[in-house]
Amino acid sequence: MPFHATVLTLYPEMFPGHLGHSLSGKALERGDWRLDAVQIRDFAVDRHRTVDDTPAGGGAGMVLRPDVLARAIDHADPEPGLRPRLLMSPRGRPLTQARVRALADAPGAVIVCGRFEGVDQRVIDARGLEEVSIGDYILSGGEPAALTLLDAVVRLLPGVMGNALSGVHESFEDGLLEHPHYTRPQVFEDVPVPAVLTSGHHAAIEAWRREQALALTRARRPDLLSRS
């Protein structure tokens, strides 16, 4: 069974978005993964198809109603426990490459996109939604966050990336940022490609790349080095 993503959203037309292009798009067409976008509004319980209401206790904005979202989840994910249920949320645990890898090994994911001020806490608890953040900033909705998460996951699925190796030596895979890259021309605006890279000496090249990766990580992301 290919990886099956179900996204619950008020804007299903935003999917597959950029994932319909390039390698992920071709993989989608081939059936190497599957994406369903479910309109939350279809599960409204009133004539006006209301999905949100004012926050209890007052304050700005609107909150997604728990009853409507619960109906949507129960319909979209009739086999709870099979696929992780995620809620895109700035309060969530920040997404990491390790989590992305774990998700790519799962049968799929059920992803809820918030809008407005957020989602009623009771449906988060009752339906076991795991909050996932894509960074310490606020988007206007969960859709670009869901697309970002799926982008990172889908490129790891079997058959999606043509060159299997280009998933291995990358930033974060070994806890380091990646070394710099060079290609032709040999000299660009008076700057040559580092000599070691054209030496043909594979061990020296490996050592140089490792050194560069370490130096970059130390300079830019020392927090990665102190992670166990």
- Per CB under 6 A, does 113 bind ligand SAH? yes
Name 118's bridge partners. 63
User: By CB under 6 A, what part of segment 137-156 binds ligand SAH?
Assistant: 137-139, 141-142, 145
- For residue 90, state whether it binds ligand SAH (rule: CB under 6 A): yes
Residue 86 in contact with ligand SAH, rule: CB under 6 A: no
Toward ligand SAH, which CB reaches closer, 27 or 103?
103
Tally of helices (H runs) and strands (E runs) in the chain? 7, 10
Q: Which is nearer to ligand SAH, 77 or 179 (CB)?
A: 77
Whether the Cβ atoms of residue 8 and residue 72 lie closer than 8 Å to each other: yes
Q: How far, in Å, CA of 150 to CA of 90, rounded?
A: 17
Smaller CB distance to ligand SAH: residue 9 or 217? 9
Task: Confirm or reject binding of residue 133 to ligand SAH (CB under 6 A).
Answer: yes
- The answer to whether 194 and 208 are in contact (CB under 8 A) is yes
**CB nearer to ligand SAH: pick between 25 and 141:** 141
User: Which residue do the tokens 């966050």 mark?
Assistant: 145
Q: Does 97 bind ligand SAH (CB under 6 A)?
A: no
- Percent of the chain as helix, strand, coil, to the nearest 5: 40, 20, 40
Binding-site ranges for ligand SAH (CB under 6 A): 88-91, 113-115, 117-118, 133-135, 137-139, 141-142, 145
